[in-house]
């Protein structure tokens, strides 16, 4: 399941994140690459252990915790601390798949990467190119979202970033280990939760059918969740 989530960061939070990372020193993006990614990636990255990355990442994690759509779609168990990259001058990231296990350097923190997330941090009119291309069962999907909006998609997907030919594309990226490993089961839970919330707007949360459906949701979560 691929889903665009609007306004993870509002204008004030976006400005605060950009203020932190724009003032920091950036390094070659391959500092955190696996072998396959190192062959494909040409970009710049904020060192993950830098103060700016940690502070900006904490702001993003706080924002994710306030997003009902993100919680419902990802059912997160663990979130890898957000990282930051930038593309300019023809830089790109060729076709690749993300590592199944992500380990934070210098720690014992690790996650299974069920979902990948790209949080766009630059106005799309400020740069040419830079589309995130994700291949799914419907073919290649090109995504270029407004600043503050985020794309959530399966980490198992083949994907790439098109060359940036004008301006600078800035984004945060990270991975999520979901409480529900199975993609189809996770999609079912999201669709059920969305339907419950839609019906509840008409009937109210105290409607008996809504309560029963909520019970079905939580019983499925008990069956499928690894928490």
Summarised one tens digit per residue, pLDDT across range 107-147 is 899 999 999 999 999 999 999 999 999 998 888 999 999 99
Q: Which residue range is the domain that position 125 belongs to?
A: 3-178
**DSSP-based three-state secondary structure for 23:** coil
Residues 19 and 115 in one domain: yes
Question: Is pLDDT of 173 > 60?
Answer: yes
Annotated binding site: 96, 98, 159, 169
Annotated binding site for 2-oxoglutarate: 169
Residues 106 and 207 in one domain: no
Instruction: Provide the pLDDT for residue 40.
Output: 80
- Four-CA torsion 115, 151, 15, 64, nearest 10 degrees: -50
Tokens found for residue 206? 């105290």
Categorize the per-residue pLDDT at 60 as very low, low, confident or very high, splitting at 50, 70 and 90: very high
The arithmetic mean of pLDDT across residues 62-79, rounded, is 98
Domain boundary among 178, 193, 214: 178
pTM: 0.94
Tokens 């924002």 belong to which residue?
A: 63
Residues in contact with 24: Cβ distance below 8 Å, sequence separation at least 6, in sequence order: 46, 50, 51, 52, 53
Query: Positive or negative, the Cα torsion across 141, 93, 64, 147?
Result: negative
Residues 123 and 22 in one domain: yes
Residues 129 and 32 in one domain: yes
Annotated binding site for Fe cation: 96, 98, 159
Residues 131 and 158 in one domain: yes
Question: Is pLDDT of 32 > 80?
Answer: no
Tokens found for residue 136? 């799914």
Residues 46 and 95 in one domain: yes
Number of folded domains that form the chain: 2
Select from 114, 161, 156 the least CA-distant residue to 136: 156
Residues 157 and 220 in one domain: no
């Amino acid at each position: 399941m691929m889903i665009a989530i609007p306004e993870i960061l509002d204008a004030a939070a976006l400005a605060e994140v950009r203020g932190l990372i724009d003032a920091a020193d950036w390094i070659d993006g391959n500092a955190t690459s696996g072998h396959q990614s190192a062959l494909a990636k040409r970009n710049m990255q904020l060192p993950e252990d830098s103060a700016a990355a940690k502070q900006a990442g904490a702001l993003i994690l706080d924002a994710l915790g306030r997003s009902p759509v993100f919680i419902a779609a990802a059912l997160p168990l663990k979130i890898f601390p957000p990282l930051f990259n930038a593309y300019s001058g023809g830089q790109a990231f060729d076709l690749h798949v993300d590592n199944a296990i992500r380990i934070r350097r210098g720690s014992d923190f690790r996650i299974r990467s069920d979902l990948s997330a790209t949080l766009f941090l630059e106005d799309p009119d400020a740069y040419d190119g830079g589309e995130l291309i994700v291949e799914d069962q419907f073919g290649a999907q090109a995504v270029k979202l407004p600043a503050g909006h985020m794309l959530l998609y399966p980490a198992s997907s083949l994907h790439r970033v098109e060359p940036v030919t004008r301006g600078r594309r800035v984004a945060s990226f990270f991975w999520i280990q979901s409480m529900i490993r199975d993609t189809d089961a996770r999609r079912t839970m999201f669709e059920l939760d969305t339907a419950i919330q839609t019906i509840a707007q008409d009937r109210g949360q105290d409607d008996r059918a809504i309560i029963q459906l909520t019970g079905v949701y939580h019983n499925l979560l008990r069956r499928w969740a690894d928490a």
